[in-house]
Structure 1
């Protein structure tokens, strides 16, 4: 027994048995029918017999699933920045979070195609309550963030998670993906939660906080979808927040959101891998002695990288101009793109509700606002 057994993905010698246990599950049939639309069930069940590692499963099946998703619901994936990374190194990718399934799946596709180490990825245990989804997550090298534990158990759970991530990065040379915050950014504001960094720092022993974070080789990752396939689904929670109400999810809300993220139209998608945080951390060490100040500064440089390298598609500029009733960014989009976006807005929400409309537009426009603020701050400096 390992102390990580409750959260870890499968070991390679467990993969085949786990895969066979769900091979004929209705959801696996649906997934494989989507992945291999021109093949019968016997095709993939026979292929499953020869799968004996997570890499086999990801490279032979899940990568094909992601390619089908891109083919059917996007106008393509582009990447940048990965050529600056070392293919033999492991990295901690900390990214903005838009989609439950795709954020990490697209990163792993980019890493696989580039010959890099694919990631082990954090996923909330609330998202894999169904037994099939739990098996599928472990087959995809997901490790569990235990969100359903009691307050008393949270500290031990966070320590275990921190140790597991550190072990992956430094002992197993396995890259790790995690979101910069708990849950997706519903309003388009990509802000790193200091609590995420505090959890990571629980494994810092016998070295300074800065040296510890340098050892993780943090790569800020910017993920940008031209259309957010779950934009309308985020509105109820945003509206509840605007009314200072507690938002309670429906039982199947997370699952429906995952499906919408996979199948919904995204148009163009871009991933940018930022530079490994190194000299910036030295600057923080020289500027601050206080650990809380250091954590705040680390969170800020992650935010700065993600915002700076976030691809601002025409939809972001259109939303800004519509929200502020201006044509400030009219050169960034065509009239046709603007009309398509307006049509989407009208189809996705009740646009006669001014508060709802404002929330929808702000979700798309906030990355532009944040870039503007960043540019203004750099001028002041």
Structure 2
């Protein structure tokens, strides 16, 4: 047994066996009927059963499913930055995180279209408790991040994860996607958790930490949705945090969020990949001898890239103006766009609850505040 068996995706030799186990599952039928509405079940089943590689599964099925999701639930995806990446090269994509499945799926679709190396992607094991979802995740080249561990187990798990990510990047020429912090950003404040970078650093094989980060080619990724399909679903947790209460998830909450994120209305989406962090890491090494300070500086560097390339939508400016009772950004949106946003607010939030209203608006407004702070405009 490999030491990575508990967290790794399927090997190519295991792909067809896994497909045979899930091909008749009702959730697979639902996914395929959504993706290929004109196709008889026997036809897609036969095609699936002839699939023997992760790449074929991703390109012939998951990519097509994603195109259908974009067609039905968005006004399109725009991208920037991909022309700076090199073919046949692995990168560590560190991304702000809005949606459980879509963030990484959209990045992979763009990498596929630009003929670049697709990623193995981190996913919390709490999101794939159901056997079907776990198999689907492993077929889609997801590796598991173990959650809910004791401090001692967490240390062992982090070491294993770090080693696995290093192996993918350095020995298998496989790109990796990881979020800048555990869990999705729920309040619109995107910030890199230094703990994620410390975990990655556990596998460092260089005397100088920044030399290791340079070697694994970090690319910051900014993703922004005009409408967050799970905005209202994030409210209970934000409200509990605002009242300094401990938030306990409902039994199927992760699964509901997962499905709502995929099938909810998003309008426009923009995905930007930044430049590979390189000379900046030499500067960090020159400025700080202390490894903790170096990690903090690297986290700030990633934040700077993500925030500076984050695309603000009319919804962000509308929320800012509504929250602050101003018209400061009214030149960025039309009256019609404002009415649509206010209608969404009415339908999703109880207006008799000022805290809920404020949390909802802040979720959309905070990216404006952060970007303006970054550009020294506030």
Mark yes or no: TM-score above 0.5. yes
Can you list the C-alpha shifts for 1:251-286, whole angstroms capped at 9, x where unaligned? 100000011001100000000000100111111111
Q: Which runs of 5+ in 1 are unaligned?
A: none
SS of equivalent to 2:99? coil
SS at match of 2:285: helix
Match of 1:336 in 2: 336
* Of 44-53 and 240-249, the range deviating more from structure 2: 44-53
Structure 1 partner of 2:349 = 349
Deviation of residue 87 (structure 1)?
1.4
**Over residues 72-124 of structure 1, what are the superposed CA-to-partner deviations in whole Å (9 max), with x where a residue is unaligned?**
00000110000011012100000000000100000011011110111000000
Structural mapping, 1:188-267, within 5 Å: 188-267=188-267
Which residues in structure 2 correspond to 1:48-67 (within 5 Å)?
48-67=48-67
- CA deviations 1:41-67 (Å, max 9, x no partner) are 111110012211100000000000000
Question: Which residue does the alignment assign to 1:43?
Answer: 43
Equivalence for 1:163? 163
**Contact kept? 2:314, 2:332, Cα under 8 Å:** yes
Distance in 2 between residues matched to 1:69 and 1:220, nearest whole Å: 25
Decide whether the 8 Å contact of 2:221 with 2:274 is kept in 1. Answer: yes
Deviations 1:118-175 (A, max 9, x none): 1000000111110000100000000000114333211111101000000100100000
Q: Are residues 1:272 and 2:272 paired? A: yes
Cα distance in 2 between the residues matched to 1:323 and 1:149:
39
1:13 matches 2:13: yes
CA deviations 1:3-58 (Å, max 9, x no partner) are: 11110000111000101111000111111111111112111110012211100000
- Corresponding residue number in structure 1 for 2:304: 304
Q: 1:206 to 1:93 in 2, by over 3 A?
A: closer
Q: TM-score, normalised by structure 2?
A: 0.99
Equivalent in the alignment of 1:186: 186
1:376 positional shift: 1.4
Aligned to 2:132: 132
Distance between the aligned counterparts of 1:369 and 1:36, measured in 2?
Answer: 42
Structure 2: give runs of 5+ residues left out of the alignment: none
Shift of 1:351: 2.2
**SS in structure 2 opposite 1:376?**
coil
CA offset at residue 352 of structure 1? 2.8
CA contact (8 A) 1:125 1:148 kept: no
d(CA) in 1 for partners of 2:192, 2:317: 23
Does the Cα contact within 8 Å between 2:128 and 2:137 map onto a contact in 1?
yes
SS in 1 for 2:224: strand
Between the aligned partners of 2:206 and 2:296, the Cα distance in structure 1 is 21
Matched residue SS, 1:144: strand
Match of 1:93 in 2: 93
> What is the alpha-carbon root mean square deviation over aligned residues?
1.0
Instruction: Say whether the 8 Å CA contact 1:94–1:180 is kept in structure 2.
Output: yes
TM-score by length of 1: 0.98
1:29 & 1:349 partners in 2: Cα distance?
34
CA distance in 1 between partners of 2:255 and 2:366 (Å): 26
2: CA distance, partners of 1:373 / 1:287: 24
Query: 2:151 and 2:358 mapped to 1: Cα distance?
Result: 36
Alpha-carbon offset, residue 242 of structure 1: 0.4
Partner of 2:33: 33
Map of 2:313 onto structure 1: 313
**1:173-204, CA deviations, whole angstroms, 9 ceiling, x for partnerless residues?**
00000000000010000000010000000001
Counterpart-to-counterpart distance in 1, 2:352 and 2:317: 21
* Greater mean alpha carbon deviation, residues 307-316 or residues 140-149: 140-149
Asked whether the equivalents of residues 206 and 212 of structure 2 are also in contact (C-alpha less than 8 Å), the reply is no
Q: Structure 2: how far apart are the matches of 1:9 and 1:149?
A: 21
The whole-number CA distance in structure 1 between the counterparts of 2:173 and 2:207 is: 20
